[in-house]
Amino acid sequence: MSGRPPLPPFTAETAAQKARMAEDAWNSRDPDRVALAYTEDSRWRNRAEFITGRKEIVAFLQRKWVRELDYRLIKEVWAHAGNRIAVRFAYEWHDDSAQWFRSYGNENWEFDAAGLMRLRFACINDLPIREADRKYRWPLGRRPDDHPGLSALGL
C-alpha cells in the first residue's frame, strides 16, 4: 500500500491534519473506510478490549455503531513527537432506549513510516447526558468546518 499522508515526523500542523482525517473517517461510521488508516497488523486497546488487525477493527466498529447510535465525534491534538500523536476526544451518541451519552477519552497513536497507524491505545469514560445538553447537533457525517472544537466548547 502506498503512503497515507501526512507522514511522520509530525509537526503541529500535520498532527492536526491527521487528527481531523481520523475524526472525519470515524464520523462516516464506515468501518471499512476507518480500517484503511491502520496497518494490516495494527494493535489496539480500546477500553478493556484488545484488537489486532484490520479484520478485527472492522468487526469492532460494526458492533460499536450498532450500539452507539447517531454518533458524532470531535478530536483534538494534545501532543505530538516524531511518529506519535496524543489526542483527546469527546463523542455523543444514544443507545436504543434513547439515553444520550457524552464519551470522553484520550488516545495514543503510533504510526509507521507510510503514515498508517500501527498502535492505538484508547481510554474512554461515558457520561449520561440529557438530550437537551447535547452540544453536537450537526447532520450525521463530517463535522462542519465552522463547528467549534473541544476547547471552544469547554470540553
Segment 7-58, tens digit of pLDDT: 999 999 999 999 999 999 999 999 999 999 999 999 999 999 999 999 999 9
Sheet containing 49-52, strands listed edge to edge, beginning at the edge strand earlier in sequence: 49-52, 38-46, 117-129, 100-111, 84-94, 69-81
Closest by CA to 94, choosing from 70, 118, 62, 125, is 70
- Domain borders along the chain are 12-133
pLDDT of residue 4: 93
Contact call for residues 93 and 103 (beta carbons, < 8 A) = yes
CATH fold for domain 12-133:
Nuclear Transport Factor 2; Chain: A, (3.10.450)
Question: Do β-strands 49-52 and 69-81 pair in parallel, antiparallel, or remain unpaired?
Answer: unpaired
What is the CB neighbour count within 10 angstroms for residue 50?
10
Q: What pTM, to 2 d.p., does this model score?
A: 0.96
Q: How many whole angstroms separate alpha carbon 118 and alpha carbon 44? A: 8
pLDDT the model gives residue 2: 67
**What whole-number distance in Å separates Cα of residue 147 and Cα of residue 82?**
29
| CA–CA separation, 58 and 2 (whole Å) | 21
Cell digits for 41? 497488523
pLDDT in tens, 54-93: 999 999 999 999 999 999 999 999 999 999 999 999 999 9
Per the structure block, which three cell numbers stand in for 1? 500500500
